[in-house]
Structure 1
Amino acid sequence: MGRGGVVGEVAHDGVVVGFDGSVASRRAAYWAAREAATRRRRLLVVSAFRWPLTELTQLRTEIVVLTEDPFRAEYQKLVDSVVEECRELAGGMEVTGEVLTGEPVDVLDRVSVNANLLVLGSSGHGTAHQVLLGSTSAELVRYAHAPVVVVRGDDLTHGKVVVGADGSPTSTRAVDFAFDFASRHNAELVAVHAWSDLPLDALAAVREWDVDWDEVTESARTVLSEAIAGHAERYPDVRVRQVVAMSKPVQAILDEAEGADLVVVGSHGRGAVRRMLLGSVSQAILHYAKCPVAVLRAEPGVH
């Protein structure tokens, strides 16, 4: 069932990339290979094989019996070809490929349970893009144990990483991921904190109250500074720019994401209501960002 010596079909501490033969998944594989090189991790290219004639076996009619072997062999050829291409990009790290039976979400979730990173491809924008994301990538973003990167955009290096920071435990994971990425790629880190989830129009009446907006803004700056303080000390080589925005989190992050190499967000934030809000933020960023997006989930038991 494939090759590569993966014990129990689980990639322990390696980089996993889903591959289905599409242009988007091939682009994701190249991105994953370059990332595996900087992380000094091996790369596993995984293709989920679902026997296309399974439904026909349930029909009460005479059909020509076809085996899956020729189809599986073609899948393996596709995987082998992209593995060879990725070896040229992986900086000497081990690159292997697997063709595994099952639905893509189930297969990739199982293989990446102990992975260092799971990389997925994404195609286009708008309605079709949303359907594609909803069927595989978005589901894995919600449930996969490993950090997930959804790749899109060009392959150019712009030297900028954007991270959303709100001071929550999940945000801390996202900030740490972003600092590590920026350090390895010699990129500027833009840390964004949107102090309110309300649209500015809704705040119009509030502005008439006796509110010290300078104090509110300063408090937001403090939250952001504290969110990155420890990380900045561990990564003194990373150039950091802090952005406190009055706009909604999605817009604030997307504004800074123009020309970025990566956007990093957490899937959950502060409190029960905040978890719902930031869950929608991460999904919106996945839909609308024009560059790769990394999503970090909360660790088990952390809210």
Structure 2
Amino acid sequence: MTLPLVVGADGSEASLEAVAWAAAEAVRHGVPLHVLHAAVGDHEASDVVRTAAERATAAAPAVRVSSEVVHEEAISSLVGKDRSALALVLGSRGLGGDLPGLLLGSVGLAVAARAHCPIIVVRGAAEHRDARFGSIVVGVEEGEGSDTAVEFAFREARTRHCRLVAVHAWNPRFGASPTPEVPPWYALEAHRRPPAQVLDDALRGPVERYGDTLTSRLVIDGPARQALVDAASEADLLIVGARRRQLVAGLQLGLINHALLHHAPCPVAVVPRT
């Protein structure tokens, strides 16, 4: 069975931008697009899904669109689709106006923390949403926390026929001798695994499987949040991984994930580690 791309629609302009982005993405992947609207009552619900479907077909005439209105709160309705969706797509802000500026709303943040499938928050100006840069950025962390995200990024780059930039950021002080701020085990691990080696190890398998994908490696001395935001300034999509919580359902969205969901200059995908 072909899993659809599911996009949340609430009538806001941000959600319609997400619908348009998701429609183009669905066509790229050859999958259907399912528009989901959560409504407490029937008032204007049909208008919301009709407008969303029209925006989808305007953005990608070849897209196969279905729609659904569910009578429950938005977070539960979206998370309830996570096991039957290729990914969940959300706008950067909803009608609730949770926070000022360009910050992600509370619904989007809650869905990103609870879903089992990749979550894509559509952010940024039109040039970032319309795939004009021909580049995807993926964040690579120490260890195996990024393995699923890297695989996702390679598949996305192949589908889009674009360049992939793998970014690993590290703090230079962690490569020095142990100090009260730097535990001995971390300093030893940094010494054994130079930053460039972290990238090489993470990319070795995917590069063999996706040999036709143009791949660049970028090692940054500095905070990961700023490194990824800067790298994504000329990208169509930013991809990061997230570990699952051990004791409760959901994902461990750390400071980096939160910062990118709120401030990334382009659409950002959070990919749960499997």
Q: TM-score, normalised by structure 2?
A: 0.82
How far off is 1:22 after superposition? Answer: 0.5
Question: Which 5+ residue runs of structure 1 have no aligned equivalent?
Answer: 1-10, 52-68, 207-211
Task: Output one character per residue of 1:183-215: Cα deviation in whole Å (capped at 9) or x when no partner.
Answer: 111221110112339799xx9999xxxxx9xx9
Which segment drifts farther, 108-117 or 162-171?
A: 162-171
User: Helix, strand or coil: the match of 1:80?
Assistant: helix
Say whether 1:225 aligns with 2:200: yes
Distance of 1:84 and 1:178 partners within structure 2: 29
RMSD: 3.4
State the partner residue of 1:281: 256
Q: What residue number does 1:262 align with? A: 237
In the other structure, the counterpart of 2:104 is: 133
In 2: Cα distance, 1:265 partner to 1:298 partner: 10
More strand by share: 2
Contact 2:8 2:89 (C-alpha < 8 Å) held by counterparts: yes
| 1:115-154 paired onto structure 2 within 5 Å | 115-123=85-93, 127-129=99-101, 133-154=104-125
CA contact (8 A) 1:12 1:114 kept: no
- For 1:58, the equivalent position in structure 2 comes to none
Bigger helix fraction = 1
The aligned residue for residue 173 of structure 1 is: 148
Partner residue of 1:105?
A: 75
- Please tell me the residue identity of whatever aligns with 1:75: A
Match of 1:33 among 4, 11, 23: 23
1:195-245 superposed Cα distances (whole Å, 9 cap, x missing partner): 339799xx9999xxxxx9xx9597211111110111112222221111112
- Cα separation, 2, equivalents of 1:82 and 1:278: 29
Q: Measure the CA separation in 2 of the matches of 1:49 and 1:92.
A: 28
Q: Report what 2:184 is aligned to.
A: none
Whichever residue aligns with residue 39 of structure 2, its letter is: F
- Provide the C-alpha distance between the structure 1 equivalents of 2:255 and 2:56, rounded to a whole number of angstroms: 34
- Gaps in structure 2 of 5+ consecutive residues: 182-186
In structure 2, the partner of 1:236 is: 211
Matched residues, percent identical? 36
Alignment size in residue pairs = 257
Q: Which amino acid aligns with 1:24?
A: A
- Equivalent position of 2:34 in the other structure: 44
Counterpart of 2:100, as a letter, is A
Whether 1:21 and 2:11 are equivalent positions in the alignment is yes
Q: Which amino acid aligns with 1:281?
A: I
> Alpha-carbon deviation of 1:144?
0.8
Q: Distance in 2 between matches of 1:248 and 1:217?
A: 21
> Residues 198 and 97 from structure 1, CA distance in 2 versus in 1: closer, same or farther, beyond 3 angstroms?
farther
1:46 shift after superposition: 0.6
Structure index of larger Rg: 1
Q: For 1:188, which of 163, 171, 174 is the aligned residue?
A: 163
Q: Could you tell me whether the CA contact under 8 Å between 2:82 and 2:88 is conserved in 1?
A: yes
Q: Following the alignment from structure 1 to structure 2, what is the Cα–Cα distance between the partners of residues 20 and 235?
A: 37
